[in-house]
Amino acid sequence: MTAIRRIQRELAQLEASPIVGVSVTPDESNLFNWAGTIKPSSESPYKGGTYKFTLVFPENFPFKAPNVKFTTKIYHPGINEQGEICVTLLKDDWKPSISVVTILNTIAEKINNPSPDDPFEPEIAQQLKEDKPKFLQTAKEWVKKYAS
């Protein structure tokens, strides 16, 4: 099966070149399901937190993008209440040549540097634009409340 071989190759690539602050663990009984964590950088508004996510590969991977969802609540303009992440790479811009390393680097970058552009949560994006100190304060409170 093409998907399994590709997933195994992606996993080997991650083991050979780990991403700083990101870890993934495949489900031993189902290689299509991975659990992961991101520990943001010290410059991130989310520093000090650990954010859990799931990465689920479709049966027709790599022709269809994996589904990435945060299970830890995060006050972020690009991640909604359900943990879905707004990354065009996983939607409109998906190509079979995109690696899991690229996906995870993109998500880690999004956590380390939240942007008000192309938001999933317009109110949070507006606050980031117009009242950054308040945004940073709320993000920090959520880190303590949900990600510590």
Catalytic site includes residue 14: no
Q: Report how many helices (DSSP H) and strands (DSSP E) the chain contains, helices first.
A: 4, 4
d(CA 95, CA 83): 23
Nearest to 25 by CA among 35, 16, 17: 35
C-alpha dihedral sign at 128, 131, 132, 136: negative
Per annotation, catalytic residue among 86, 89, 98, 101: 86
Backbone angles phi, psi at 135, to 5 degrees: -60, -50
Partner residues linked to 38 by β-bridges: 22, 51
Task: List the catalytic residues.
Answer: 86
